[in-house]
Structure 1
Amino acid sequence: KIKVRKGICYHCLPYGLHHRTCPRSKREAFFSPQLLISFVHRGWLNRRQIDGSLNRTPAGFYDRVWQILERTPNGLIVAGRFLPQQPTLSDMTMYEMNFSLLVEDMLQNIDQPEYRQIIVELLMVISVILERNPELEFQDKVDLDKVVQEAFHDFQKDHNRPKGAEHQDDLTAFYNTHPAGKKGTCSYLSKAVISLLLEGDVKASNDDPCTIS
């Protein structure tokens, strides 16, 4: 069963209505190659809206969330919902459908599809950082919303956005930024995660070969 967010319908509705009401002679022009190319080259805000509406995730995404949870004893907070390490890891396995559905259900709790995709990007970033630093694990609960806010504040500073120039919780410009590159969203998300680590919210993993018991 494929889940599709209502958001994708709102994005496509104006195009469908225009197509149905315009003269037949203009319909081919409406769906011309140039228009199709413009869909392909949409801004990142639109891409994230569409990907979020279709519940798209990168390959191996749910396995990576499992691996994050293994290194987060006090669990994750996603859009105000708590995902505990236990009994989740003891009741389920990494590859079973129930775990994927549990994670997807939490992501479904996010109203904005573009914000959902930022959370997906953040989880991938956390996974890579923990993978490259196997000696570390989070000690406290990891609130993903707070990490995104920290990344966004850093983004605002780099773009010289004066206070009052826009709503402090308006992430539109952030949503419309490419994920990759020095000024990409993943760069800001990585900085926020590393900042969280440097604040002392981590401890050595029990699997650290350098740990003396």
Structure 2
Amino acid sequence: MSDKSTIGSFLGTTVEGEARDLEADRHGQWLRRRRLDGALNRVPLNFYPRIWKILEKCQGINIEGKVIPQSLTQEMTAGELKFALEVETVLNTIPQPEYRQLVVEALMVLSLVREYHSTGWLGDIVSAQDIVHLANNIFLQDQKQEGGDATTCCARDKKEPGIGGGLTCGGAAYICIHFYDSAPSGKFGTMSYMIRAVCCNLNCFPQDGEMDCTVS
């Protein structure tokens, strides 16, 4: 018996048990992180100037019924604290921290579209929550095809309502808990689904042909 196995037996664990514990720790990792980041109002670097630049290409950004209007770009500069507070005030109307973080991710994808896609106009009022919910729906479609974890709840053919009419998995704002718990990058990452949702949601993209939406 190896020293590692001996120590594991002494502590009441085995190498296999440690591996299972490690896997259990990974499960829920991104959900916990999004909840923490959302609760602490964390946003990516240069987030607010990016929002300002998005507003240059649309009439406003709708977040759960609250609109950040384009007129703010005439009243404030991109780096002005007052502008950041205006955006933060709207984001703070979202009660679920993990959902707030997905909205932040959707806005970051929009900023990348604004930066790299040569379009003159993103649309009138761009709905951030519509992008998040569409991304979740695309995720569930892939989960059905791949037989993923969400087939135990939101991706089932026959869905049952959860407590209080919510989702059976307990996902906030009618977003599957497994989507919250997905890493941002990779083929099945949340950012990939956000990009696909943006392509479907905005009229500035061609509706035919294929696009590589993988985020490495």
TM-score w.r.t. length of structure 1: 0.70
Q: Is the 8 A contact 2:136 2:175 kept in 1?
A: no
- SS of 1:56's equivalent in the other structure is coil
Cα distance in 2, alignment partners of residues 137 and 164 from structure 1: 40
Greater relative contact order: 1 or 2 (C-alpha under 8 angstroms, separation 6 or more)? 1
1:172 match = 177
1:85 aligns with 2:44: no
- SS of 2:124's equivalent in the other structure is coil
In the alignment, structure 2 segments of 5+ residues that lack a partner are: 1-21, 145-154, 161-166, 169-173, 206-216
RMSD: 2.1
1:137 match = 121
1:54 match = 40
How far residue 114 of structure 1 moved from its aligned partner, in angstroms, is 0.2
Cα distance in 1, alignment partners of residues 32 and 156 from structure 2: 26
Q: Is the 8 A contact 2:119 2:204 kept in 1?
A: no
Cα distance in 2, alignment partners of residues 78 and 196 from structure 1: 15
1:28 match = none
How far residue 133 of structure 1 moved from its aligned partner, in angstroms, is 1.0
In the alignment, residue 68 of structure 2 is paired with which amino acid?
L
Cα distance in 2, alignment partners of residues 179 and 170 from structure 1: 15
- SS of 1:75's equivalent in the other structure is strand
Cα distance in 1, alignment partners of residues 136 and 101 from structure 2: 14
Cα distance in 2, alignment partners of residues 135 and 77 from structure 1: 20
1:88-127 alignment runs, 5 A limit: 88-127=72-111
2:196 match = 191
Cα shift readout 1:18-61 (whole Å, capped 9, x = no counterpart) = xxxxxxxxxxxxxxxxxxx99x9661000000000001111111
1:70 match = 56
TM-score w.r.t. length of structure 2: 0.69
In the alignment, structure 1 segments of 5+ residues that lack a partner are: 1-36, 203-213
Cα distance in 2, alignment partners of residues 131 and 117 from structure 1: 21
Cα distance in 2, alignment partners of residues 112 and 81 from structure 1: 16
- SS of 1:77's equivalent in the other structure is strand
In the alignment, residue 159 of structure 2 is paired with which amino acid?
A
- SS of 1:94's equivalent in the other structure is coil
Task: State the identity as a percent.
Answer: 39
In the alignment, residue 95 of structure 2 is paired with which amino acid?
D
Q: Is the 8 A contact 1:44 1:178 kept in 2?
A: yes
Cα distance in 1, alignment partners of residues 47 and 193 from structure 2: 20
How far residue 201 of structure 1 moved from its aligned partner, in angstroms, is 5.7
In the alignment, residue 144 of structure 1 is paired with which amino acid?
A
